[in-house]
Amino acid sequence: MNVIVYSKQHCIECNILKMFLRDHHVDYEVRDCSTHPEYSEEVEKMGFLGVPLTIIDGLPVHGFKETELLKLLGKAEA
């Protein structure tokens, strides 16, 4: 599974999202838009205006949407 998190420093929602992924033992790549403006351009090209943006196997989730994230990660409770 390929998981990418676009985030910014000092973004509370971004930090909560990353903590959530760690708690669920999900490996992910962080793309920090604060230090790499080209990542902000990638976010905009995908049609989003801000972060956090999580890409799970090519599918975007904007913001921290726990239910949607769990479903895409295959960790949704039955």
Angle between helices 66-73 and 12-23 (to 10 degrees): 40
pLDDT at position 13 is 98
Q: In the β-sheet with 59-62, what is the strand arrangement from edge to edge?
A: 29-32, 3-7, 53-56, 59-62
Q: What gap in Å lies between CA 32 and CA 28, rounded to an integer?
A: 12
How many other CB atoms sit within 10 Å of the CB of residue 17?
24
Domain ranges for the chain: 3-73
Task: For 5-63, write each residue's pLDDT tens digit.
Answer: 999 999 999 999 999 999 999 999 999 999 999 999 999 999 999 999 999 999 999 99
Asked whether the predicted pLDDT for residue 76 surpasses 90, the reply is: no
Q: What gap in Å lies between CA 61 and CA 57, rounded to an integer?
A: 11
pLDDT at position 78 is 46
Q: Which fold has domain 3-73?
A: Glutaredoxin (3.40.30)
77 band by pLDDT with thresholds 50, 70 and 90: low
